[in-house]
Each structure stands twice: as structure tokens, then as C-alpha cells.
A and B are shown apart, each in its own frame.
Chain A
Amino acid sequence: MSFFKKSADMLGDRLNEKLARDLDESAVLADEALAFSFAEFHPEAAERGGYSNYSYWRATVRAFFRNKTAVFFLCLMAATLLFTFIQPLLPGQKDPLEVHYGEWGLPLNNVPPNGEYWFGTNSIGQDLWSRIWAGTRTSLFIGFSVAVAEAVLGILAGVLWGYVRKLDFFFTELYNVLDNIPQTLLLILISYIMHPGVSTIIFALSLTGWLGMARFIRNQIIIIRDRDYNLASRCLGVPTRRVIFRNLLPYLVSVITMRMALAIPGAIGSEVFVTYIGIGLPVSIPSLGNLIQTGRSLMQMAVLRYQLIFPVAVLAVITISFYIIGNSFADAADPKNHVN
């Protein structure tokens, strides 16, 4: 036994000697031999074996910025949003509700766009430029509020629905009933019953808006809740709340963001719709809905068309930007698109 060990050791020693000799010889030789020299041992480098430096968010951002259309709309939307909020702070801006009077004490109504009133004035002499930006703020406020309400309610219901098995039946039946009520109809009904205003519209849209989000999250959670890492967490006694917030929801952040981005143009459109049928916001609260509605009633007269074209253009820019950014972000967040 010891003989074998000894001979093996001897063999090893001899090999080492030979290698060392070869190494010395090759070191003396030309540079190309360096390619075959022994590397030094670094403990840190050894730790890195088989590890990929793939980062989900970095790959998502990279994939998003590769899409030039999306980047263009992102810049456009960022500029519009920024401008919407700093516009009242700029010098020389007019109050959206103030009626402007001319020299003879008559209201300056229906003034076409000029240097003083950049987008002209409306039929009672209010400045259309400041009304449009005030209206954009109202519409964006509605859009963001609905998106947030949708996300909060949708995530809460979706997580309970997907994760707690006892509630599955209850939520499924609830969904089947509520999903059958057309959202437009409920919007009309709530606006008809309640006092017209910003909060009514937000309430009516949030009432059913969360259904789609809840169902989506439920389906995703059912897919991932029994994966090994979640089982491991559960076996280690991690509290359910922590499993949900640390294991499940980070996985869904991208789709939640996408759905929120798409909810905003939807909410803005719904506001335009209820204002059209006469149960939306009063004219004293400027919104894109009632600006478009006012412009529409004047479109027969060619000189007054600017009152329709400006609000429609602003609305189109905002909704198209949100739509494209939401969809591109969803594509970028899909790990299938991270490969190349």
C-alpha cells in the first residue's frame, strides 16, 4: 500500500519537476509561450466560476433604450409632463379662469392665436393656452389617480386571490359577475347618480378598473407561487407577508408598471367621454374633456377650429406616448428579449 502511495508521490514529483523545467524553458522562450503559462491562484477569481453578471433591471433598461421609437416618446412625454407642471410658475402666464377684457371693456372672445394669446381665447375670453395646460394637469391627475387606485386594489385582490387558496372560489365568482358589467355603463351610471366632479370620475373608473389587474396578478402568482425558491422560503418559516413582498411582487413589477401606464390614457379618454355625454366636469374645472367638447361644438366655423385642434393635439401626444412607452416597457421587461 505505502509502496503504491510512494511511487505515486514520486511520479507526481517527477511530473512536477518536468513541468517546472518546461516552464523555465518556455519562460526563456518567446512571448507566445506565455499563453500556456500557469495562472496565479486568486481566491476572488475562483469564486466567480459559473456566475453570470446578468442583472434583470440593467437588461430591461438596455432593451428599452434599444427601441428608438420608445425613447423618442419617452423624451416627448417627459418634456410634456415637465412643462405641464412648471407652466404656471413661468413668468407671463395667465390664469385659466380669468376672462380677459379689451380696450372698450368688452371680453376678448374668440381671439385667434397671436403673440399675446398663444393659442387664442375661447368664446368667453379666457386664455386657451393656460386653459389647455390646466386641463392637462386635471386629466393627468385623473389618469394617475386611477392608475394608482387600480394598482393598489388590483395587487391586493390579485395576491389574495392567487396566494390564498381558500379565497380562490370567492374571488373567481366575484370576478365572473363584476367582469360582465360593461365599464362604460358603470361609469355613466355613477356619474349620473353622483355629483359631477373629478372625484366622481376617479371613483367610477377605479370601481371596476382593478379587475383586469387583479386577474393578471392572480394568474402570475399561481404560476410562480410553488416554485422551489418559494417552497424553500415557506419551509424556512418565512412569514407569508414577506414571501409576497420579497419573492412574488418584485417578479411582477414590470407588468404592474405596464398596466399602470396603459390605464392612464384609458382614464383620460373616459373623462372626455363622460364630459361629452354631459355628466362630466363642469366648465369651471378646465380639463381636456371639456376643452375638446367646447371645441367640437365650434368646429363648423373654420376660424374657430383652433379651439378644437390644440386640445386634441395635446391629448393625442399624451395618450400615444403613454401607450407606446407602456408597450415597449412590457417588451423590454420580458426576459425572452434579453438574450441578445
Chain B
Amino acid sequence: MAKYILKRVLRASVTLFIIITILFSLLRLMPIEGYFDNFDKVSSTEIQVKLNSLGLNDPLPKQLGRFYNQLLHGDLGTSNIYRRGVSINTIIAEKIPISVKFGLISFALSLVMGLALGIWMAYSTRTRFKIGDRLGTVLIVVVQAVPAAVYHIVIQFVGSQYAGIPMLFDEARPISYLLPILSLSIGNTAYYAMWLRRYMVDEANKDYVLLARAKGVPSGAISRRHIFRNAMVPLVQYIPGSILSTLMGSLYVESLYSIPGMGGLLVTAIKRQDNTLVQALVLIYAVVSILGLLFGDIMMAIVDPRISLAKKEGSR
């Protein structure tokens, strides 16, 4: 186990290094307007002077080396346009708490709702009209098929026009938290429900469940102790990743409801063309996503000890 986790962490570090390098190189192609807050007014010599002073005319490996050096000192650079001259660390430190708050609340909500819906659907496949299963399937299909960008708008539209909930986020009014949290959690709810239902139905058809039933184990106990537990194993892997996806999803939701968080910040930085801020945020998101996958694999290994990185033998 420890060996597996160690290997997996090492692998993730290598991946992280490669991805940061790729992204950093790609980011060098950003339009140079994004380094100036007054690009239209400065002359071309001034532009060259500024680019030289920022070291942007240096060869790529040199820039990369300097960037890693800064990164290891915990320095992400300073913003050029969004808040001129303010260090990005300061900007982000103000934004992170609110994103984390929304992310965690909606994650907890989606876990509870998703598992409840999945169990209800799996249970309902054994009833006569399968009402729960049908209703749940409609929800899942709509959420999976319609782009998130669209159903978030629909939620905002219906909630604000017909339920009288404020359209934009307002820190002083707790009711304005409702729509963003609903928007953030609905995707994961559908996801958990879909997979839990499928795994539970698969599990319920296995022979050992039949044996338990034949022995006379009460069906409640079979569901709780065998079916649900085994069905949860493959789901565990997605949990860290979905914390990540609430962060990524919040990219859209946060700016839709003007929540002053990380996701809204990236959208603003892109709209305002603030290169250094875009660079820092893109790299942070990449790191978060790699960590999500890493923790997912580690949790999976803890829950199911049969997994290992060892190569499968016997293939020719």
C-alpha cells in the first residue's frame, strides 16, 4: 500500500512538472497586449523595453528556469491590468475562501442528494411502475445532455423570475446562496445517482446476493451491508475529482452569479486580458486537477486493496 502510494505520488510529480512546462510554453504565445494596461498609448520602443524588463524576450528555457525559481519561492508574479502592481498571491488569498465555501457546501449537498437519488432509483427498479427510476433517469439525461452552460442559465432564470430569489449573489442575504449552490451541485448529483444506481443494480444481480436472500437474510440488511457497500467502492474514486469539478464548474457559476471567487476571477482575467493573472490561475487549476486524480487513486487503493500499479502479466 505505502509503496503504491509512493509510486503514485512520484508519478504525479513528474506529470505535474511536464504539464506546468507545457502550459508555461503555451502561455508564452499569449497576446502581448495583456502585459500592458495602456497598450494603445505606448510606442513600440516602450513595448520592447517593458518586454525586455519582464524578461519576455529571453529564450524559452531561460524564462522557464526563472519561472520555476519564482514558483519555488511561492511567487506567482504581479497583476498587470486587473489590479495593477498587486501581487497575485494577495489577490488569490482574498478569493480562495469564498470558492472553497461554495465548493464544499455544494459538494456535500450533491453527495447526499446523489446517493439518496441513486438508492431510490435502484430500489425502484424492483417495484412495479419504476416511478423513481424513470423520474431519476429523466433528470440524469437532461443534466448530462444539456450543456452545463445552458442549464445554469435556466436555473438562474427560473429561480430569479418565478421563485423571487435574487439573481445575483449578495453576501448579506443568505437566500441568494441558494441558486448558485443548486447550480453547482446538480451536475454531481446526477453523476453520483447514475453510477450508484448502475453499480447497485449490477451488484443486486450477483450470486452471493441470491445466496444471502436464500439463506433468509432480511432484504434491508442485504441492501445496506452488501449491495450499497460494494457499489460505493468504484464511486470513491470520483469524490476527490468531483471536488475539483465543483471548482472547475464554479468557473462558470461564479461569474454567472457574480460571486467574488476564483472561477469568476479567471473569467474576469481573460476578459480583461491580464496575462500574468491568467497564467497563475491556469496553472493553479491544472495543479488542483492533478491532485484530484491523485487523491482519487489513493482513496481507491485504501478502499479496495486489490489495486496495484503492477503490470498485468500474461498478455502476449
Residues of chain A having any CB pair with chain B under 8 Å: 176-177, 180-182, 184-185, 188-190, 192-193, 222, 226, 265-266, 268-270, 272-273, 276-279, 289, 292, 296, 299-300, 302, 305, 308, 312, 315-316, 319-320, 322-324
Contacts and interface: CB of A to CB of B under 8 A. Distances in A.
B289 interface: yes
Sort A-B residue pairs by CB-CB distance and give the 8 closest, nearest first: A269-B147, A323-B145, A272-B149, A320-B145, A278-B271, A273-B149, A193-B29, A182-B289
A266 B316 CA distance: 37
Contacts of A292: 149-150, 153
B145 A265 contact: yes
B286 interface: yes
Nearest to A265: B145
B285 interface: yes
Contact of B147 (A177, A180, A192, A315): A315
Given A184-B248, A268-B147, A193 B285 contact: no
Interface in B95-145: 141-142, 144-145
Given A182-B285, A319-B147, A193 B161 contact: no
A173 B251 CA distance: 29
The interface centre, meaning the residue of A192, A265, A292, A319 with most chain B CB atoms within 10 A of its CB, is: A192
Interface stretch (B19-27, B208-216, B217-225): B19-27
Interface in B236-294: 248, 251-252, 255, 266-267, 270-271, 278, 282, 285-286, 289-290, 293
Given A184-B251, A279-B270, A323-B141, 5 more contacts: A180-B290, A181-B286, A189-B26, A269-B146, A308-B153
23 contacts: A177-B15, A180-B293, A181-B23, A182-B286, A182-B289, A184-B248, A185-B248, A185-B286, A188-B282, A193-B26, A193-B31, A226-B316, A266-B147, A273-B252, A276-B252, A277-B271, A278-B270, A278-B271, A292-B153, A302-B161, A308-B153, A315-B150, A316-B150
B66 interface: no
A261 to B, nearest CB: 11
Nearest to A231: B316
Nearest to A273: B149
B51 interface: no
B30 interface: yes
B19 A180 contact: yes
Interface residues of B, number: 42
B148 interface: yes
A121 B278 CA distance: 37
A319 B30 CA distance: 33
A277 B270 contact: yes
B270 A188 contact: yes
Contacts of B147: 265-266, 268-270, 272-273, 315, 319
Interface in B14-62: 15, 18-19, 22-23, 26-27, 29-31
Contacts of A276: 149, 252
B148 A269 contact: yes
A294 to B, nearest CB: 12
Contacts of A226: 316
B157 A322 contact: no
